[in-house]
Structure 1
């Protein structure tokens, strides 16, 4: 019973923060709010709550079920369209993640396996779930992914603006003729 009250307090903090993040329209509000709320209660009250293994297993099963349930027959038809470019992009990001992971491990910043899982592309929940299932520190993995996620989300408006500007200036304008240049259909006078 003495371990149940701290666990319930951490769960309440997690749920409260998640609902606040949802109300504030924060990205990934269940995960980010839950993480920060649980950490705030755990650290704020000096608790050392360990979630029971059965609860961790059920959470992993729920994450897997939620992801698997999104796959429909149409998913594979759409998948063929971006298989090659997607594999190339993921391969490049995966290679960069492995190189940085090795560098962080060599510098003693992170343990090798946690470093790799922290820097791999993929969903936050999936990477943390995989790390916890393999026996690694989920807090380290989620911390690195949260830095990555918030950096991407906060820089996204600038990145999209630059991409739209480049598209407008160098790609979309190629199809429109310059008014000072005579077109091939009109003979010169």
Structure 2
């Protein structure tokens, strides 16, 4: 990709401005996870109302990488003692992916009346971009697959953010978990910047999914596990990252017909409810078999995006290293297995 400067368009600027206004509004209203939820709400309403908004790809990449660095900073040497329990949890996660995909595929076939290809790739609980590409290649409806995944994330983020606050009694800790507790020296800035830049480039080179987030997260985790740095990105950068990620969700609905979006969101409410029930059941199974807190296991199995679920964990003081690790593994499982399983089951273009 050439690095020539491309000036922002009106749609780019408007997307960020609406996201910032929404985040600040939710912050004043003391909403949970205000900067992301507010940005998501305002940009979604604007997009479905016909306002053209978008985000510059490099802006998205920079701030998603910041979140990756932040997530990596949650890994510490103490985690190594919990790896045996995590392995039990990963085994349950594999079963969850199979059961969840089958259940939601049935839902989209019977309730939404989608064709088999569209229903299958819309049902996969993760891998938004990859499922859109794979589903389109097999002859599925790209718009419906995109809408199913985008609306699922939208619904899951709102339900879980408010659910944890209202019904779980979770509120942000008195010490802001998104702010650096260690002094940010010049050498720490160097290490964090290295994690972001080298992590992004390395993950992109080897074609890791969600490379802008996963690469910096892995390298940042390595630096923190090795004790090279204990610092986190500045709070202001993390707040901007939340606004950008929230705006990304809303901008996905730009250009889609209002009726299509409304039906997609209504269908996503049903699909997400089904996935949350399954996530709760598997979360209880993991909490029982591995001795892990249900608040962490539920969020690790929840049907939201990697960035979004990790931010909820960070904001509420839940084990974000455990949560983000499970979402990374889930994405790998889906991206590798979904197209392969579709072919093995006799899937073909337009079938």
Q: Do the structures match in fold with TM over 0.5?
A: yes
Distance 1:81 1:46, change over 3 A: same
- CA drift of 1:59 comes to 1.9
Q: Is the 8 A contact 2:191 2:229 kept in 1?
A: no
- Residues 119-130 of structure 1 mapped to structure 2, 5 A cutoff: 119-130=301-312
Q: Using the TM superposition, give the Cα deviation of residue 17 of structure 1 relative to its aligned residue in structure 2, in angstroms.
A: 1.4
Please name the residue that 1:131 is paired with.
313
Structure-2 residue corresponding to 1:179: none
Q: CA deviation at 1:138?
A: 1.8
Once the two structures are TM-superposed, the CA of residue 22 in structure 1 deviates from its matched residue by: 1.6
CA contact (8 A) 1:18 1:37 kept: no
1:9-58, Cα deviation, whole Å (9 max, x unpaired): 02312221111222332211101111112112222454322334333322
Judged with a 3 Å threshold, the aligned counterparts in structure 2 of structure 1 residues 166 and 60 are, in CA distance, closer, same or farther, namely closer
The answer to whether the 8 A contact 2:192-2:233 is kept is: no
What is the correspondence of 1:71-110 to structure 2 with a 5 Å cutoff?
A: 71-72=253-254, 74=256, 76-83=258-265, 85-110=267-292
TM-score of the two chains, using structure 2 as the length reference? 0.43
2:242 aligned with 1:60: yes
For residues 6-45 of structure 1, the aligned pairs below 5 Å read 6-45=188-227
Q: Please, which moves more after superposition, 51-60 or 138-147? A: 51-60
Structure 2: any 5+ residue segments left out of the alignment? 1-181
The reply to whether residue 143 of structure 1 matches residue 325 of structure 2 is yes
Counterpart of 1:3 in structure 2 is 184
Structure 1 residues 61 and 109, CA, compared in 2 at 3 Å: closer, same or farther?
farther
Superposition deviation, residue 80 in structure 1: 4.2
> 1:117-136, CA deviations, whole angstroms, 9 ceiling, x for partnerless residues?
11100110111112212222
Q: Distance in 2 between matches of 1:75 and 1:119?
A: 31
Check 1:119–1:19 CA distance in 2 against 1; reply closer, same or farther (3 A cut). same
Q: Deviations over 1:64-111 (max 9, x none)?
A: 122223332525332345456544433322211011112222345432
Residue-pair matches, total: 169
Confirm or deny: 8 A CA contact 2:276 2:303 kept in the other structure: yes
Give, in angstroms, the shift of residue 145 of structure 1. 0.7
Task: Please say which structure displays the higher CA radius of gyration.
Answer: 1
Q: Secondary structure at the match of 2:232?
A: coil
Distance in 2, matches of 1:51 and 1:27, equals 23
Stretch deviating more after TM superposition (141-150 or 103-112): 103-112
Distance 1:68 1:166 in 2: 32
What is the CA RMSD across the aligned residues, in angstroms? 2.7
Q: Is the 8 A contact 1:6 1:47 kept in 2?
A: yes
Residues 75 and 144 of structure 1: CA distance in aligned 2, closer, same or farther (over 3 Å): farther
Q: Runs of at least 4 residues of structure 1 off by over 6 A?
A: none
Instruction: Indicate the structure whose relative CO is greater, using CA pairs within 8 Å and at least 6 residues apart.
Output: 2
- 1:50 and 2:265 aligned: no
Equivalents in 1 of 2:280, 2:254: separation in Å? 31
Q: Is the 8 A contact 2:306 2:328 kept in 1?
A: yes
